Structure 1
Amino acid sequence: MPADESISLAQMRAVFYSAVVCDALDALGYPHQSPRVPLSPLTTTGVLIGRCKTTLWADMAHPDPSPYELELQAVDTCQPDDVIIAAAGGTFRSGLWGELLSTAARRTGCVGAIVDGAVRDRAKMTQMGFPIWARGTSLYDSKDRNRVIDIDVPVEIDGVRFVPGDLVVADIDGVVVIPRAVEAEVVRHAWNKVHDENIVRQAIADGMTATAAFKKYGVL
């Protein structure tokens, strides 16, 4: 296993998945790092791994004097490997994210978006292969319905805290965030568990019972 510092995002993307990261967090005493609300991949398959770029959203019921201002600022200030986190309280008042924001975000190096609410332009985002996790879709524009009220601040989704720069992992099973304070330990633990699971899988395939494999390796 490479040292923690040498495990790149590319290496993580090749072998990590959300459940093994949750297991690593559990082992280190962080059992509530994955929102229980349904955040599902709508445009791609596979795993999304990157750094949190946070946006905080609110519902509106009046004309917006500065439409799209902060969401555009958030997109334009993304760094390579960022993942937009849209903390919007699960709103379906509008489609918060769409094709044009995806195009702009990709230009800055953003690798995906996780939206606690609805998105739109799903077919076009699927065609361009931009990874989106969300609760569902809404055809309505966000103008005068929702707006970003802050960026680059800690936000919460279903009581789980997402801090700018935290490592986030998402796949078909869900979304999990790794606090910076324990990132090195979690990455090392998850890396080792992937390796151990490969050994157990092969042992069972070769004829060992699940009970015997767990007794020998302590991995399930």
Structure 2
Amino acid sequence: MNDANVERAARLDTATLSDALDKLGINGQCYRIKPRSSSFRMTGRAWTIKYGPAANPPGTVGDYIDEVPEGSVLVLDNDGRDDVTVWGDILTEVAHRKKIAGTVIDGINRDVSLCLELGYPVYSRESWMRTGKDRVQVEASNVPVNIGNARVCPGDLLRGDADGVVAIPKEHEEAVLAAAEQIHYAEDAIRHAVREGKSLREAREQFRYHQLQTPEAT
């Protein structure tokens, strides 16, 4: 199914989208969530998982993958834990085969080599090998979660590139994308003007660079 706003977001970088979020007063920058490779690019709608400490007996950590639709971004909230992983090679292989757009983790992953080999985008705080099995479990799926101090709800628009991940709330995505496109076109115009011989100061003044990210009055 075509999704025009996913396609629009895919044409924009996270820095531009971040500026648009700032302009609109929306906190959607996922702090410290980084790609395992600077070549990774990812755009899609959030399918969320919330983790918690394992019960006794412990619950599962990963059987949800069969339910995730093609083109989704898997968003895993492990409360920023860096001592146990919630993503590894089996999940990477299945997600890649299912054509899931990528995985975002507030926490860590392991088996980095396979996601690099397959080109499957994984964004997380860091990587380490210790399993989360019997240490954490899935508490809920498709609920609001916290990723790098940004609230992510099911269906929100996520964009990832070499600079990290931004989450665009579904109810604000039209305004955010429109603002980001305006910033993108203005910055392109500034670069073109400088190449044609204008000074950077002149080009920025002409295309109102210093007002592009100014928060809108409420």
Q: Which of residues 114, 119, 122 in structure 1 aligns to 2:104?
A: 114
How much does 1:184 deviate? 1.2
Query: 2:8–2:177: 8 Å Cα contact kept in structure 1?
Result: no
How much does 1:147 deviate? 1.6
Distance change in 2, residues 1:140/1:63 (3 Å)? farther
How much does 1:12 deviate? 3.4
How much does 1:107 deviate? 3.1
Please state which structure has a larger fraction of its residues in strand.
Answer: 1
TM-score (normalised: structure 2) = 0.87
* Alpha-carbon distance between aligned partners in 1 of 2:36 and 2:150, rounded to the nearest angstrom: 21
Query: 1:98–1:120: 8 Å Cα contact kept in structure 2?
Result: yes
2:216 counterpart residue number? none
Query: 1:93–1:145: 8 Å Cα contact kept in structure 2?
Result: no
- Structure 1, residues 104-160: CA drift from partner, whole Å, max 9, x if none? 223333110011111111011110111000111121222112221111000112431
| RMSD over aligned Cα atoms | 2.1
2:92 counterpart residue number? 102
2:25 counterpart residue number? 29
Indicate whether 1:67 and 2:60 are aligned: yes
TM-score (normalised: structure 1) = 0.86
- Structure 1, residues 17-54: CA drift from partner, whole Å, max 9, x if none? 11111111222232x21132x21110451431111110
AA in 1 matched with 2:28 = Q
AA in 1 matched with 2:194 = I
1:9 counterpart residue number? 6
How much does 1:60 deviate? 3.4
* Alpha-carbon distance between aligned partners in 1 of 2:109 and 2:3, rounded to the nearest angstrom: 36
Distance change in 2, residues 1:45/1:121 (3 Å)? same
Indicate whether 1:49 and 2:43 are aligned: yes
* Alpha-carbon distance between aligned partners in 2 of 1:90 and 1:112, rounded to the nearest angstrom: 18
Distance change in 2, residues 1:46/1:193 (3 Å)? farther
Q: Which of residues 184, 190, 195 in structure 1 aligns to 2:185?
A: 195
Query: 2:85–2:128: 8 Å Cα contact kept in structure 1?
Result: yes
* Alpha-carbon distance between aligned partners in 2 of 1:26 and 1:47, rounded to the nearest angstrom: 22
2:215 counterpart residue number? none
Distance change in 2, residues 1:202/1:108 (3 Å)? same
Query: 1:87–1:115: 8 Å Cα contact kept in structure 2?
Result: yes
AA in 2 matched with 1:72 = D
Distance change in 2, residues 1:46/1:212 (3 Å)? farther
Distance change in 2, residues 1:8/1:183 (3 Å)? closer
Indicate whether 1:166 and 2:156 are aligned: yes
* Alpha-carbon distance between aligned partners in 1 of 2:8 and 2:28, rounded to the nearest angstrom: 22
1:131 counterpart residue number? 121
1:87 counterpart residue number? 77
* Alpha-carbon distance between aligned partners in 2 of 1:6 and 1:142, rounded to the nearest angstrom: 34
Query: 2:28–2:166: 8 Å Cα contact kept in structure 1?
Result: yes
Indicate whether 1:176 and 2:166 are aligned: yes
AA in 1 matched with 2:14 = S
Secondary structure at 2:209's aligned position in 1? coil
Runs of 5+ consecutive residues of structure 2 not aligned to the other structure:
211-218
Secondary structure at 1:95's aligned position in 2? coil
